[in-house]
Amino acid sequence: MTDLELVDLAFTMLERSYVPYSHFPVGAALLCSDGTVFTGCNVENAAYGSTICAERTALVKAISEGHQDGFVRLAVVGNSVDYCWPCGACRQMLYEFAPNLELLVAREDRTFVKLPLGDLLPHGFGPKSLN
């Protein structure tokens, strides 16, 4: 799957978002090395802190379906003027399973930035940090 196809797939997830509080839909699409793609959207909650972001939805779907490694690329998209940068909690969760993940971060005009997760979370704390 090309970068553009992964970004387009993430955009299709915006309509699945449950965002009655922020009205800020986010979509995600996570590509595995075997070609499997897991999609995600943000799901909010009246207890705001219980909200789950689109990236973590995609990641947790992947893990719960038996994919714990081999993550290659993740598209994160929003209908925002600025690029839809992953929040700190998502950066940390992704680092646990895919410290070398490539990110495609898009904005409303569908242009996107491609960069490694390590650029957004340098010197991250991961499983090896516990040794």
Residues labelled catalytic: 55
Of 34 and 52, which CB lies nearer to ligand THU in the complex structure?
52
Q: From the CB of 49, what's the least distance to ligand THU, in Å? A: 11
Among 96, 102, 98, residue whose Cα is nearest residue 119: 102
C-alpha dist (Å) from residue 29 to 8, 40, 66, 105, 119: 9, 6, 17, 11, 19
Binding stretches for ligand THU (CB under 6 A): 19, 22, 24, 26, 42, 44, 51, 53-55, 86-87, 90
Q: From the CB of 116, what's the least distance to ligand THU, in Å? A: 16
C-alpha dist (Å) from residue 103 to 23, 74, 95: 24, 5, 12
Of 31 and 103, which CB lies nearer to ligand THU in the complex structure?
103
Among 118, 111, 30, 115, residue whose Cα is nearest residue 74: 30
> Which residues are paired to 18 by β-bridges?
43
Q: From the CB of 34, what's the least distance to ligand THU, in Å? A: 25
Helix (H) or strand (E) run with residue 114 in it: strand 112-116
Of 47 and 130, which CB lies nearer to ligand THU in the complex structure?
47
